[in-house]
Chain A
Amino acid sequence: MAAKFRSFLTILGIIIGIASVIVVMAIGASAQQLIIDQVSGVGSNLVGILPGASDEKGPPASALGIVTTTLKQSDLDAVMLKKNVPNAVAASGYVSGVGTAKYKNNSNQASFQGVSADFINVEKNDLSAGRFFTNEENAGLARVAVLGSTTAKNLFDNEDPIGKMFSLKDVNFTVIGIVAPKGGSAVSNPDELVYIPLLTAQKILLGIDYLNFARIKIDSADNIARALADVKYTIRTQHRIKNPSDDDFSVRDTAQALEMITNITNVLKYFLAGIAAISLLVGGVGIMNIMLISVNQRIREIGLRKAVGARNRHIITQFLIESIFITLVGGIIGIILGIFVALLASIVINALGYEWEFLISFSSILTATFVSVIIGLLFGLYPAKKAAQISPMEALRYE
């Protein structure tokens, strides 16, 4: 009974190790899916332009919080000319800021985005009420706003916001439309945004003349590569850049962005799984320990087996099978426990209102099984070799 309990404690190390790897991989995969869903939720066939140079894989300077003022509306106008980028169908510049939004007694800290009238054609956005602003309103610095669904609810409670006036950064805006709920993450939630005309935002609220970001919709996925090249060429011409290595802007398509996000989140996922795997090493040491104890307790048995004809490899195989069996059992229990914990986590996260998918990949289960076998093999090898080295005579004499 004591021996069984001791074996269980040893297996526990493997169980916890495998379970934590499974949980980390599952939660990592779900988080990754959540982010990817959001990025692709913005729309497909999009090309983004960011101010500041970057290499293709890394984040651009602007994403690191460095303000670059080189991207202008004039660049976007040039891109939209048919002769420059024939495949561009719509484009919007973006500037963003934060300000206090007030209506009657309600006062909220709100993120606002100044966007072009074409914004509604660039991103996947449906209006649940009212309309989006027009090019004319943008050019005329109209003080109109389209609200994200959450902001509309927070600011106007149960009133119909359309046609009502509220203040943003102490400037009065008239609500002309509401964006249908889209859902989002803790990182950014479009439902909480206030959309206002780009020029209004630049001139009245922010006092700037540059863009934080721009998005261009391309007519079809097949033309994205060509459009990317056209956009780059156009902006280089605008900025009088001769050498591509001197670019003061970066161009990305959605696929690239997705790839980048996948890369970053993969690194995070595997890094966390690696940390979890350290507990597996500790578990492995426990296995080695119990196997060494077992070899010691069974010296007579080993001696007898050798006396009746067992060769060294028979003894090694016997002890390896035992240690692999122990780690495999631990691994299987760990996988089941890990799946259970990941399922529990997804239920809790879903209850908190996020679109969290429960994701367990077959490959992570396969990997975990494989890893537990390898641990049994690795940490069982030394005790097994030790067992095989015992001389039959010594072993039989041992009391």
Chain B
Amino acid sequence: MSIPLITVQNLSKIYSNEGVETPALKSVNFVIKKGEFVSIMGPSGSGKSTLMQILGMLDRGTEGEYLLENVNVNKFEDDELAKIRNKKIGFVFQSFNLLPRTSVFENVELPLLYDDDHLEMNNAAKVTKALEAVGMEHRTGYLSNQLSGGEKQRVAIARALVNNPELIFADEPTGNLDSKSGLAVMRILQKLNNEGHTVILVTHETYTARHAKRILNMKDGELVSDELVNDRLIADGEGELLK
């Protein structure tokens, strides 16, 4: 629990559009250690999504440092970032982003196809394992558009898991789900965290954020608070239990 996984120092992001500069992040600092479950919270426009995209290496900061496992990734080429995303990071999105008209198996397998170092043929075992972790192994042959929203999100989590990444980013993962499905998703994320994955959850809902162990509060591009969750919600069974 003590090794720093993510170190952010004076991280800023300015979007330029036709000469108009919009600051999205203003000199943000924090450290996330391995095994943490952190919620990044804030209203829309607070910069939380920008922060997640930079942490997830989908985008780069304009200024400041971002160290992953003490390595500065700011200067990495796009292809190197893609490689890190492939091996160390799993993404779960609000709108699932499953490939349409494609089987559950193929959707989950996708990251393995881009892993040049491990192109050996045990994909099926890995995919099955990831689907078992989210309780979707019985839907392997289904097409993505034959699934319900909650099932889609669980498949998306399996896809995020299949390469056994260090870090899992979940961007409003329950935003498009009914409360029961949302609960199931949170239960899976907490289980993954218990198994050692570092989970970073982006949400605007306090209720959802309270499933994490720590909350980073964002407002107008600044980190306004960074505190541990005292009354953490545990998604277990049919209802919520206070720890």
Q: List the interface of chain A (C-beta within 8 A of B).
A: 300-301, 303-312, 314, 391-393, 396
Contact = CB atoms under 8 A, between A and B. Distances in A.
Contact of B59 (A304, A309, A314, A393): A393
23 contacts: A300-B97, A301-B99, A305-B110, A305-B114, A306-B58, A307-B56, A307-B58, A307-B85, A308-B85, A308-B86, A308-B114, A309-B82, A309-B83, A309-B85, A309-B111, A309-B115, A312-B78, A314-B114, A391-B58, A391-B59, A393-B58, A396-B58, A396-B93
B181 interface: no
A306 B82 contact: yes
Contact of A309 (B53, B87, B97, B99): B87
Contact of B58 (A311, A312, A314, A392): A392
Contacts of B78: 311-312
Contacts of A312: 78-79
A303 B91 CA distance: 12
Interface string B46-73: 0000000100101100000000000000
B211 interface: no
A161 B224 CA distance: 118
A237 B115 CA distance: 84
**Looking at chain A's contact residues, is the secondary structure mostly helix, strand, loop, or mixed?**
helix
Contacts of B97: 300, 303-304, 307, 396
A99 B150 CA distance: 95
A223 B175 CA distance: 93
B159 interface: yes
Interface size band for B: 20 to 34
B31 to A, nearest CB: 24
A321 to B, nearest CB: 13
A391 B56 CA distance: 13
Given A312-B79, A391-B59, A393-B58, A307 B99 contact: no
B62 to A, nearest CB: 14
Contacts of A314: 114
Contact of B114 (A301, A303, A309, A393): A309
Lowest 4 A-B CB distances belong to which pairs? A309-B86, A309-B114, A393-B58, A308-B111
A312 B93 CA distance: 22
Interface in B145-160: 159
Interface string B80-103: 001101110001010001010000
A311 B93 contact: no
B114 A311 contact: yes
Contacts of A391: 58-59
Interface in B96-128: 97, 99, 110-111, 114-115
Given A301-B99, A312-B78, 18 more contacts: A304-B99, A304-B110, A305-B110, A306-B82, A306-B85, A307-B85, A307-B91, A307-B97, A309-B83, A309-B85, A309-B86, A309-B87, A309-B111, A309-B163, A310-B82, A392-B58, A396-B58, A396-B97
Contacts of B91: 307-308
Nearest to B84: A309
A376 to B, nearest CB: 22
B92 to A, nearest CB: 11
Contacts of B99: 301, 304
A7 to B, nearest CB: 15
Nearest to B93: A396
Contacts of A396: 58, 93, 97
B60 to A, nearest CB: 10
Nearest to A309: B86
A98 to B, nearest CB: 73
Contacts of A303: 97
A313 B241 CA distance: 48
A308 B56 contact: no
Contacts of B58: 306-307, 391-393, 396
Contacts of A300: 97
Contact of A311 (B83, B111, B159): B83
Interface string B161-192: 00100000000000000000000000000000
A314 to B, nearest CB: 6
